Structure 1
């Protein structure tokens, strides 16, 4: 007797999708932290670049945003990079982005403080408008 899940609707759908993917030359390359799946489809006839696509975890296009996909995966999809990104590479990039945002907040706070002190002391510098004729 076969396990119950094999004959269920999900089991059959999963089997048919897998069979269809193999027939198309479709290969799962990876998945991001949101559950989006990245595929590569071989091109028959010796065309150099295989087709690359993403299968979004949400089927509702209202939830769709390319900005949620890590930039490393977007670069891979557009053939700007040969190899798919590693999880370490994506995490490192996210850490650097967060660090940059935090540093920008610190610089912004310092600038506001300096501006506030200049206004209080009356030493605020006026910014001259740029005149291209001078």
Structure 2
């Protein structure tokens, strides 16, 4: 029974590791390629300008044009943050792995306690009460 418990913990650890690894890979790719996004092409869609009032449409367009240089500088600095994703992934993995191991240890201890209590309950009494 304890072997089955630790097999389940091992499978959960493998799933956790694969999930963190895949998330780290995707975030690194997304953040690493953020500097190549064309910020100059961001604009209010043509269909929206027909439905929105002209003042609102112009206000949104003006806001987009004002934010474009700031957004471009933010996207240009994003690839430098890709290394931080790896550190964050390792910390996240370590916390999750520790919690899984603690849960496995606690389950193992509870299983042993339950097995001992079952053994003592099934022992015949030597003296009648």
Task: Please indicate, yes or no, whether the TM-score normalized by the shorter chain is above 0.5.
Answer: no
Greater length-normalized contact order (CA 8 Å, ≥ 6 residues apart): 2
Given the two structures, how large is their TM-score scaled by the length of structure 1?
Answer: 0.35
Higher helix share: 2
Given the two structures, how large is their TM-score scaled by the length of structure 2?
Answer: 0.36
**Higher radius of gyration, 1 or 2:** 2
Higher strand share: 1
